[in-house]
Structure 1
Amino acid sequence: MSPADCYHFGLIVPDIDAAATGLTQLAGYQWTRPIEAAMTIATPTGETTADVAFVYSVQAPHIELVRAVPGTPWTTSPDSAAHHLGFWVDDMAAAVDRLESAGYARELEPLGDLAGTFGYYVHTSGVRIELVARKYFTDWPGFLHSMAR
């Protein structure tokens, strides 16, 4: 992992459309179509299924707007939408080992077909990192433009 691997920051919002519209009006962002899925996840308290929805800004620095899902790590405090920094990784196991050695704890990872594609890790300082396997997005700019609204 390096600073160059940090490709997005995530915000948790109650209403993706409202947040995207506000940022478009403010700064001219264009957004991908929503990606929605029922996802089985593992957390330190056990397994659960969450209905997840998110969009990315087409323009860099990339913003990920994630719809809040109560009872999961996809929540945030009422006065802050800031949630995580997303990093591309080429070797998920090595990156997880590096984070754990630095004091980060696993907060969330997908199960089933999505196992090994991403995971959230949180430090006692409150910093949350999302690791994303680069091999699933070999053409990130192409993905963004193909999904643009």
Structure 2
Amino acid sequence: MKAADQYHIAIVTDDPEAKMLELSELFGYEWGEMMGGPTTVTVPSGDTTVDTTVELKAWYSLSEPRMEIVQSVPGSVWTPTEGSGIHHLGYWVDDVSAESAELTRRGYAVEAVGNWPDGTAYWAYHCSPSGPRIEIVSRNLKPVLDRYFETGKLSS
């Protein structure tokens, strides 16, 4: 990963509409439509991992620098963060599995992984004891998000 691959900072909140309004009023952010829905993620469970489905809802800013506002999901990694409110830093990567292995080697524990139907990871969350949480996302998704950033919509 490189610093230049960072593309967003995320905040998880119980009230996404209020947070987006606050950031719009303070900084002039504009927001795209909600993306998400039921999402199967792999999470650690003792010495193994399990698949679970969570209802993820997120909105990206159309303005830069990019912000992502995520609806909280009780009992999951998607809970509001104390203090600054920043939940994670998002980075594009070419190989999620390889970068995930490197982050793990460096002491960043795996918190959740999103997989394609064929089992290939397309994003992962990692956290170290001292933070920050890191989200790595397959660069293959960049064209989809670039269209979203241009139009504010998931489909054209």
Q: CA deviation at 1:77?
A: 3.9
Report if aligned partners of 1:29, 1:58 keep a CA contact under 8 Å in 2: yes
Q: Is 1:7 aligned to 2:4, yes or no?
A: no
**Distance in 1 between the 2:18 and 2:113 partners?**
28
Q: CA deviation at 1:57?
A: 0.7
Q: CA deviation at 1:112?
A: 5.1
Unaligned runs of 5+ in 1: none
SS at match of 1:117: strand
2:102 to 95, 98, 102: 98
How many positions carry a matched residue from both structures? 148
1:27-53, Cα deviation, whole Å (9 max, x unpaired): 110011011311121211233221110
1:83 to 83, 87, 92: 87
SS at match of 2:32: coil
Q: CA deviation at 1:22?
A: 1.2
1:67-98, Cα deviation, whole Å (9 max, x unpaired): 00001100134554211000000111221122
Letter in 2 for 1:17: E
**Distance in 2 between the 1:133 and 1:20 partners?**
26
Q: CA deviation at 1:111?
A: 4.1
**Distance in 1 between the 2:102 and 2:32 partners?**
31
Letter in 2 for 1:126: G
Report if aligned partners of 1:32, 1:145 keep a CA contact under 8 Å in 2: no
With normalisation by structure 2, the TM-score equals 0.86
Question: Which stretch of the first structure deviates more once superposed, 109-118 or 5-14?
Answer: 109-118
Q: Is 1:125 aligned to 2:130, yes or no?
A: yes
**Distance in 1 between the 2:125 and 2:95 partners?**
15
With normalisation by structure 1, the TM-score equals 0.90
For the aligned residue pairs, the C-alpha RMSD in angstroms reads: 1.8
Letter in 1 for 2:152: M
Report if aligned partners of 2:14, 2:80 keep a CA contact under 8 Å in 1: no
**Distance in 2 between the 1:111 and 1:2 partners?**
23
Report if aligned partners of 1:109, 1:115 keep a CA contact under 8 Å in 2: no
Unaligned runs of 5+ in 2: none
SS at match of 2:143: coil
SS at match of 1:106: strand
